[in-house]
Amino acid sequence: MEDLLKSVVKERRAQKCHSAFVDSLIQSSLTEPQIMEDCMVFTLAGCVITANLCIWTLRFLSTSAEVQDKLYQEVLEVLGSEPVTLEKVPQLRYCQQVLMETVRTAMLTPVAARLQEVEGKVDQHVIPKQTLVIYALGVVMQDPDTWSSPYRFNPDRFEEESARKTFSLLGFSGSRTCPELRFAYTVASVLLSSVVRHLRLGAVKGQAMEVRSELVSSPKDETWLTVCSRT
């Protein structure tokens, strides 16, 4: 991937017309390694994470008519007949709750890693500075001591600010905003607002969902839905 991105950067530098995402990075004061890192982050977010976030969300909506109808009402109230815009996305608060609960229920990112910037301590175990720490997010996201009915898809749990705060500390860059997840949320919000405004989703009877947990959790088999027009 790095070799491919380097070739793209070299090609784009030679062109006079600049309009792609990588061009904005090239025109900044970032070093080439920083450009490579940002390209990789958004390539991953734009493909694997965003795609699976959308797949899981549509699946959960198809099995919960109540959640789907509540999301539909919010879309009508916030957007009306107008298209979704970047300025309107933050106003889709329930949509954000749906996406958060999808990440949690599907264990979308079951593991995370971070270089320990300061010395830490867990019980009597000291974690030295500059240690690479692996976080078992999949375990924490469905911990019954943290979440009531942890295996139930319930976006209403994120109405409470305390739940949102707990969720933000699960490794998605902690107090620093994770650009990858923000990007995925924005793309998914556009998709969901467009889909639920025109279509009602339904589940296929007898279809069981099995999870394949890797760096990003995905359905083990193809996911099928039924759709009908809301008009």
**Binding-site residue ranges for heme:** 178
What span, in angstroms and rounded, lies between the C-alpha atoms of 21 and 18? 9
Tokens representing 80 are 């009306």
Rg from Cα positions in the chain: 20
What span, in angstroms and rounded, lies between the C-alpha atoms of 191 and 45? 15
What span, in angstroms and rounded, lies between the C-alpha atoms of 210 and 193? 26
Q: How many CB atoms lie within 10 A of CB 141?
A: 21
Binding residues: 178
Q: How many CB atoms lie within 10 A of CB 62?
A: 20
- Of the candidates 33, 35, 37, 34, which has an alpha carbon nearest to the alpha carbon of residue 12? 35
What span, in angstroms and rounded, lies between the C-alpha atoms of 25 and 38? 8
Tokens representing 220 are 């083990």
